[in-house]
Amino acid sequence: MARFALIQNLYTENLGLMSISSYLQSKGHEAQIFIDVKGTNAFAEVEAYNPQVIGFSCTTGMHHWGIEFARRYKDSHPHVVSLFGGPHPTFYPKMIDNPFVDYLCIGEGEEAVDELGRALDGEGAPEEIANLLMKRDGTIIENPVRPLVQNLDTLPFPDRTYYDRYPLTARETSKNFISGRGCAYKCNFCANHTLMKLYHGRGRWVRFRTRENIIEEIKQVKSKYPVRFIGFSDDILIVNRKWLYPFLELYKQEIGLPFLSTVRANLVDEDLVVALKEAGCISTVFGVESGVENIRNGVLAKRVKDSHIYESARLFRKHKIHYGTYNMVGLPGETLEDVFETVKMNARIRPDFPWCSVLQPYPGTEIRERIEKEVGRALPVDEIGASYFTNSMVRSNEIRQMENLQKFFHLAVRFPFLQPLIRQLIKLPPNPLYQLIFKSCYALQLMKRSRINLFTLLRYASASGQMFKKKSDSKAKVSVSDQPSTAV
């Protein structure tokens, strides 16, 4: 059987790679996970492991790191196969054109990666494996996707053992789990609608594990690690109440640890909040995105009213559950005053964790298609950096002030009396001080939400600094009008 080195560049458990690793091992292959960040020596560790395949799970922006690692490794080990999966290859299959990319895995990867390992050992031909793209004699071979895994309980539990080698992850007292796959919504800034099209006719899109299966996984992890609280990494944990309420009851009886979850404001009511509270939910987060309802629902297709947001905040505060919000700046047709409306809405609802990013037009999203139509040309995918906390590749007359306001977002929300001063400060050019202010506010939120101490936070920040680095190139910037666009 084949030997896989699965490589990541963030100092945290990666549920996708853990699932692939455990599935490969269940099929007889060898697989290990390696972390390539400051303070580790992943290149030498991978060399000592001597894999047949080096595998990367990449989001857009992070793919720059993956390709560079593959280039370096294949320079000295030309016969090793490079395999890329995750969101970026799925939504930007042109990545296969890169000379250091041998295979792309599109969509769900467990079965395809197993079959690739078998093919490399002489059992079958890679050219016939569903979900894979590859190059052969100058020709791109693109296979269709296979049916979705319908019974998620058939998959082995994610393998967390390799993180024991790293002091930070070995001591981590928070563990993340996922209860299902697939999101039922089609927000324009997300590529979920593209995945739905890709898998149309290939099985039920939104799927859940059985409650007993998730509880058993949590129990096994609790028996091995000093777990103090649980995070659920689902897109929206609460989307199916028929499944959710019995799960929460079982979780309360069998686990009893405090947990964090994501919700959607238009799905929240008092019965739901009470059920979450009684089961141990201590913190949650929901998307505001824009404080202007016409932008949120017209431009972003969010389908969440202002009244949903205000009521969700009221209920979480009433039942003493901490809550955060997701927000964005730099949206098509958005003005600086629209961004301040987002600030004002957050100031009214007083979230514990007001989180804000700069819109990035990722491949596979309808928001990207909209911007490309407005500017009249394709956006350069490879100029998107790893961070959504820095700047926008789409330029307008007010975008620089919006980028600066994003750095002050936390302060503007938590201390509204500072807003007049912030209005003046954001007129200045971007500078390191503004980045420092943002990083400090981000760190404080992360410490409070994730319950980690300052020393641990600094170790994470040192190792994973790429989350705050920008990739800028003047040729990549595109201009759009400041005038509001017609809602879609």
pLDDT in tens, 200-236: 999 999 999 999 999 999 999 999 999 999 999 998 9
Query: What is the phi-psi region of residue 38: left when phi exceeds 0, alpha when psi lies from -120 to 50, beta otherwise?
Result: beta
Our measurement of the distance from residue 20's CA atom to the centroid of its chain's CA atoms, rounded to an integer in Å, reads 17
Q: Sign of the CA dihedral 331, 335, 340, 344?
A: negative
Which residue type occupies 269?
D
State pLDDT tens for residues 317-343. Answer: 999 999 999 999 999 999 999 999 999
If one counts every other C-beta atom within 10 angstroms of the C-beta of residue 208, the result is 20
- The reported pLDDT for the residue numbered 464 is 54
Burial of 152 per CB tally in 10 Å (0-12, 13-18, 19+): middle
Question: ∠ at Cα 337 (334, 339), nearest 5°?
Answer: 60
16 CB neighbour count, 10 Å cutoff: 18
Q: Supply 472's token pair.
A: 């800028």
Phi-psi region of 381 (alpha: psi -120 to 50; beta: other; left: phi over 0): alpha
Quick one: pLDDT at residue 462?
Answer: 55
Task: Give the domain 171-479 fold.
Answer: TIM Barrel (3.20.20)
Q: Which among 60, 87, 66 has a CA at the least distance from the CA of 7?
A: 66
- Encode burial over 446-458: b for 16+ CB neighbours within 10 A, e otherwise: beebbbbeeebbe
**Domain 3-142: CATH superfamily, name plus number:** Cobalamin-binding domain (3.40.50.280)
Amino acid at site 128: E
Give me the residues of the chain with pLDDT under 70, please: 450-488
Distance CA 412, CA 414 (A): 6
User: What is the predicted pLDDT for the residue at 463?
Assistant: 53
Residues 325/354, Cβ–Cβ less than 8 Å: yes
CA angle centred on 293, ends 290 and 297, rounded to 5°: 90
Question: How is the chain split into domains, by residue range?
Answer: 3-142, 171-479
Provide the CA 270 distance to its chain's centre, in angstroms.
Answer: 29
pTM of the model: 0.91
**Angle CA(198)–CA(201)–CA(207) in degrees, nearest 5?**
85
- Distance from C-alpha of 56 to C-alpha of 83, rounded to nearest angstrom: 6
